[in-house]
Amino acid sequence: MTTQHTTWFKAAPISAFPENGGACVKYHDRQIAVFHFKQLDKWYATDNECPHKHQMILSRGMLGDQQGHPKVACPFHKKTFSLETGLNLQGEDYCINVYPVKVEDGFVFIGV
Amino acid sequence: MAQPQKVVVVGNGMVGYKFCEKLLNKAGGGSFSITVIGEEPRPAYDRVHLSAYFSGTSVDELTMAPASWYAENGIQLLTGECVLHIHPEAHYVMTHTGRKIEYDKLILATGSSAFVPPVPGVEKEGVFVYRTIEDLDAIISYAQGASRAAVIGGGLLGLEAAKATLDLGLETHVIEFAPRLMPRQLDAAGAGMLKRKMEALGIQIHLNKNTAHFEGESNVKGLAFVDNTSLEVDMVVVSAGIRPRDELAKQAGLGVGPRGGIMVNDELQTTDSDIYAIGECALHKGMIYGLVAPGYEMAEVVANNLTLSIAKKGDVKSFHAFDMSTKLKLIGVDVASFGEPFCEHTPHDTIVVEDKLKGIYKRLNVTTDGKHLLGGILVGEADNYNMLLQMVKNQMILPPNPEDLVMPVRKGESAGAGMGVASLPDDASICSCENITKGTICEAIEGQNLGDVAAIKKCTKAGTGCGGCVPMLSDLLTETLKKQGKTVKKVLCEHFDYSRQEMYHLIKMSGTRTFDEVLEKHGKGCGCEVCKPAVASMLASIYNDVIAKQAVIQDTNDRYLANIQRGGTYSVVPRVPGGEITADQLIALGTVAKKYDLYCKITGGQRVDLFGARVEQLPFIWEELIDVGFESGHAYGKALRTVKSCVGNTWCRFGVQDAVGYAVRIENRYKGIRAPHKLKSAVSGCTRECAEAQSKDFGIIATEKGWNLYLCGNGGIKPQHAVLFASDLDDDTCIKYIDRFLMFYIKTAEPLQRTATWFNKLEGGLEYLRDVIINDSLGICEELEKEMEYLIETYHDEWRVAVETPEIRARFTHFVNSEEADPTLEFVEMRGQKRPSDW
């Protein structure tokens, strides 16, 4: 782990993100999907791009769990990805980057 | 420990392979040392489904078991090697490579070869047989330079070959010597029906044709017939029958039949008791069996008896005359022949159903006392084949009206009496390829807790041959589980242990109004992309709250109240009830489309679809549309889409009712109502049916006296006509029935089940549905009407709510930390409009 070099980017206030849903954050020319998984009391961040058809869409995906493991389903073709590891949960080859998230003073920060 | 017995199998086809599999299963490793010699370059493959090779099934998929299987089981497999001599006295065989292989028991599974009649010119280039993968490869490669093909032989295999040449894009002719197709399986009328069907598919059939010689120089250019006619073709596939491969046996001095075939007794021993013959090369009581099922049975008998000779327990098995019943799909046409199809020498009466319009011919041969079925022929529809075959084999007593067994089954009506798997005896053979009985399958389901057809296949091998019995396996599974008090329950997903119908009831009873409440009370975990939208749909059907208030449990289209399209933009479809639209409304649509640079398309449902709206534009676009009187069209929802109409008697000279007026009334009545799946409707003003109402979930066609109501049709992947539910209804009665029908469907269907699928699974079918909705047989009609009334009263235009509610409206952005639009969106020009660039 190389966490010591993590840069924390201040994304938006907590209220900007729907509970048990996601929203997209712009960081320079990158797009990061941020999810407030309220049921688990956790925050997750991933690439906004779904690697299946390269669509900037995952922030509009649906949250859920598979045997207790948190996941997001892409709106286009229901490809599901682990929010913990970024791996595709249907056993397909592509995966997404996941980023650390912290919440401080009512704001959401993403480690980029 | 005794030396393992040396078993040598000559021939690695389906039967040779099956023999190895059975011997291993019975004896386990160690008792035998098995050597298999096959002349083809690859391990045994499924010759029955050889034609699938043309439609893209690979050799690997056709292979019975890979070479590694033989190795793992200690079998020495020699492919591409021919046996040249058998030495019965010295007990060894000699192969073409000079390899000498000793045996204790020799199994001949040499199969057969295609019979090629000695017609002059048959040796020309472009003349093929249809037997092995190499033959098929040769046909495929030659076909590239050909345009017209003839298949000589109108039997089973010939028609398969004809399909292959048709699939290769060739003009295809079938030449048959007999006066009809498939003369061994079909009678004249059945064959005539098959011929019509084949011709309709573009295959030209020539009967009573005897080929005199092949024309052409080195390459075939045509066929000349004995009757002095000829046919120009540049490719020929000969499929005139099979000849058993008995040359090795003959040379070794074993007994062979006068017309070929290695003579065997009931234990499949040849005239040398250490040599057996199984499959198509064996001649048993004057019969050669050219089907796989009897071949497998022969493999079973020999494997059993060899094991017996070592294990010294169990019973000697013998082979008996085997049923030649067969069912297949020829170029999409079902053909079956079972029991005694002709009954030439058995007293009988026939029941014949012939429908030339639909291309269906069915014949049953029944004993003269009407009690038993002897056999029959099915062309065009063979759904009942398995049951009919079982009735013959088990000599079951026929139901009082045996004609019901072959009357065409209409959708929704249950099949004739006595047709369920429950009525079969335990020793009924369900899978005839593997010879597995109902008793064995049911025991496996119960004893080993099998839960699906795949598990049954794996455990019992039933259904792994031709696959024809798979529907019966599924019925047996349901039946057996039902008997055990278990139901094959369709639960929503891992988070809810209930079917949709149960969930619907629970939500209503518990009064839960949000997903979180429902999950807490009736489910577990966090939910997922399956249960969230399903629960959202049920909540909407029950309470009709504003769905945008629980946006994160809605499928993406419902979450943004628009249809997501490639690239991540959305399309907008305002409601246009009945397809009636004013010039001002059209202008308004055009103005908005132009302002936001939207791609315009008229939909199939008489509406206008505007594509390419960015998520943050949606509220602005809708604000303008609402201002000129448009409402959400729910094109994004599992809800009522459109009620299409023809112009009706207000303009049309043929119309008998006001179709548009009625369509507008219906669309406004049911708009916004959410259901398990989308709902489509149409109203036609006369019997010409220009609105295509019979392809809708509920369709209405005007009559002189009122309206005919059709239910449960759909287009889509599996088009299905709606069924006539009631006739000559007045305006209000028709609506009353639709109210009840829709609510009944909404409450009882599975998630994402259209009305057609729902109806097909509805026990009791159309009669039951009429009973519930017209006669109120369940006593629920008042409740259904009340629930529908509630949904209609609570209608709201959800786009108006979204635009006017700031916290909902605020969600329509791409970024939460920037006003910017998604910079990755790209469009290209197409026929004067835009479209997203390719993904």
Domain-located, residue B799: no
Q: What is the pLDDT of residues B133-190, one digit of tens each?
A: 999 999 999 999 999 999 999 988 899 899 889 888 899 999 999 999 998 889 999 9
- To the nearest whole Å, the CA of A95 is away from the closest chain B CA by 18
Give the CATH number, domain containing residue B9. 3.50.50.60
- The reported pLDDT for the residue numbered B410 is 53
Where residue B657 sits, what CATH number does that domain have?
Answer: 3.30.413.10
Residues B45 and B140 in one domain: no
Of B585, B580, B733, residue with least CA distance to B667: B580
Q: Look up the CATH number of the domain holding residue B454.
A: 1.10.10.1100
Q: Specify whether B686 is located in the same domain as B640.
A: yes
Examine the domain organization and report whether B523 and B481 are in the same domain.
no
Handedness of CA B152, B157, B161, B167 (dihedral sign): positive
Question: Which pLDDT value is given to residue B487?
Answer: 61
**A positions 48-77 inside 8 Å of B (CB):** 53-57, 60-68, 70-71, 73, 75-76
Q: Is residue B709 part of a domain?
A: yes
Residues in a beta bridge with A24: A33, B815
Tell me what the mean pLDDT of segment A58-86 comes to: 94
CA distance B372 to B402: 9
Total domain count, chain B: 5
Segments in chain B below pLDDT 50: 411-418
Q: Per the domain annotation, does B831 fall within a domain?
A: no
Q: Are residues B10 and B94 in the same domain?
A: yes
Quick one: average pLDDT of A83-92? 89
Give the domains, in start order, of chain A with CATH numbers: 3-111 (2.102.10.10)
Which pair of tokens denotes residue B8? 């040598």
3-state SS of B350-370? EEEEEECCCCEEEEEEECCCC
Answer with the one of B292, B311, B330 that is the final residue of a domain.
B311
User: Quick one: B50 and B89 in the same domain?
Assistant: yes
Domain shared by B83 and B187, yes or no: no
Residues B87 and B122 in one domain: no
Say whether both B511 and B525 belong to one domain. Answer: yes
Contact present, B180 and B191 (Cβ < 8 Å): yes
| Pair (B619, B523) in one structural domain | no
| Owning domain of residue B48 | 5-113+244-311
A40–B494: do the CB atoms touch at under 8 Å? no
B556, B614, B811, B813, best to mutate vs chain A, most A CBs in 10 Å: B556
Question: Of the residues B436, B462, B488, which one is the last residue of a structural domain?
Answer: B488
- Note the pLDDT tens digit of each residue in B560-571: 999 999 999 999
Of A25, A56, A64, the CB nearest to B526: A64
Mean pLDDT of the residues in chain B: 90
- Whether residues A75 and B564 touch (CB distance < 8 A) is answered with yes
Does B194 lie in the same domain as B58? Answer: no
Query: Is the residue at B470 inside a domain?
Result: yes
Residue B630 neighbours by CB under 8 Å, 6+ apart: B574, B575, B585, B588, B589
Scan residues 480-499 of B and list those with Cβ closer than 8 Å to A. Answer: 494-495
Quick check: A1 pLDDT over 60? no
Chain B residues in contact with A54 (beta carbon < 8 A)? 839
Domain boundary residue, one of B181, B208, B240: B240
Could you give the 3-state DSSP secondary structure of residue B33?
strand
Nearest chain B residue to A24, by CA? B815
Q: Is residue B396 part of a domain?
A: no
pLDDT score recorded for residue B412: 42
Residue B94 lies in a domain: yes
> Which of B416, B303, B400 minimizes the C-alpha distance to B362?
B416
Nearest to B567 by CA among B615, B610, B619: B615
Which chain A residue has the Cα nearest residue B810?
A: A16
B553 touches chain A (CB under 8 A): yes
> Do B515 and B586 lie in a common domain?
no
Is A54 within 8 Å of B839 when comparing Cβ atoms? Answer: yes
> What pLDDT does B69 receive?
92
Is A56 within 8 Å of B552 when comparing Cβ atoms? Answer: no
For residue B342, tell me if it sits in a domain. no
Both tokens assigned to A108? 């959401």
Residue B449 lies in a domain: yes
CA angle B208, B213, B216 (to 5 degrees): 130
Q: Are residues B734 and B755 in the same domain?
A: yes
